[in-house]
Amino acid sequence: MEYILNLDESIFLLINRNWQNTFFDWLLPYWRNKYFWIPAYLLFAFLLYTKVGKKSIWILLFLGLTVAASDFTSSFLIKETVERIRPCNDPAFMKNVFLRAPCGSGYSFTSSHAANHFAIAMFLILVLGPPLKKWRFVLLFWAISIGFAQIYVGVHYPLDVLFGFILGGLIGNLIAYFYHRFSFSVN
């Protein structure tokens, strides 16, 4: 386990310090900010409504359930159980961290940003299916890049993000399954 944690710290330092560049320094603090994406979320909801009509309300409700389940599981069940200190709050490690965003006072494992965004991507891919085919890689890139940004700005270790992706993928799949079961009974 010590080897894995040392490797996790080494990869963190590689991303946080060695890959430092002015473009990422400017972009990634915004990129990982949930408020930065509000215009895109509103545009998505509008476009979804224009394409599928009233069914979009069910998709958006289940999407909200996906985010709520992911965030609750990551933030309250896992973080409060594991209690891993963020790299930017760890007294023994924080001197190595180049912090580019507010650190936060909560725990680190799992990354809720990574879990929530990957859950959104998986849910949308599984629910919207073929019409979204061209956009699948864009959604996956979006979710993964937000997880990467969490490491780059100094608030999460790579394992926090990796397990956030796994958690988000599982929850996105589970809620998409329930959406399909529910939508068949509603039609």
Place of tokens 């289940």: 62
Task: Report the pLDDT value the prediction gives residue 131, as an integer from 0 to 100.
Answer: 76
- What pLDDT sits at residue 4? 94
- At 119, phi and psi to the nearest 5? -60, -45
Q: What pLDDT does residue 163 have?
A: 98
pLDDT (average), residues 123-140: 89
How many independent structural domains does the chain possess? Answer: 1
Output 133 or 64, whichever has higher pLDDT: 64
Q: Which domain holds residue 24?
A: 2-186
53-100 pLDDT, tens per residue? Answer: 888 999 999 999 999 999 999 999 999 999 999 999 999 999 999 999
pLDDT value at residue 184: 53
Q: For residue 70, what is the domain's CATH number?
A: 1.20.144
26-62: pLDDT as tens digits: 999 999 998 999 999 999 999 999 988 888 999 999 9
Amino acid at 7: L
- The set of residues, in sequence order, having a beta carbon less than 8 Å from that of 16 and lying 6+ positions away, is 87, 97, 98, 151, 152, 153, 154
Is 43:136 a contact under the CB 8 Å cutoff? Answer: no
* Model pTM score: 0.92
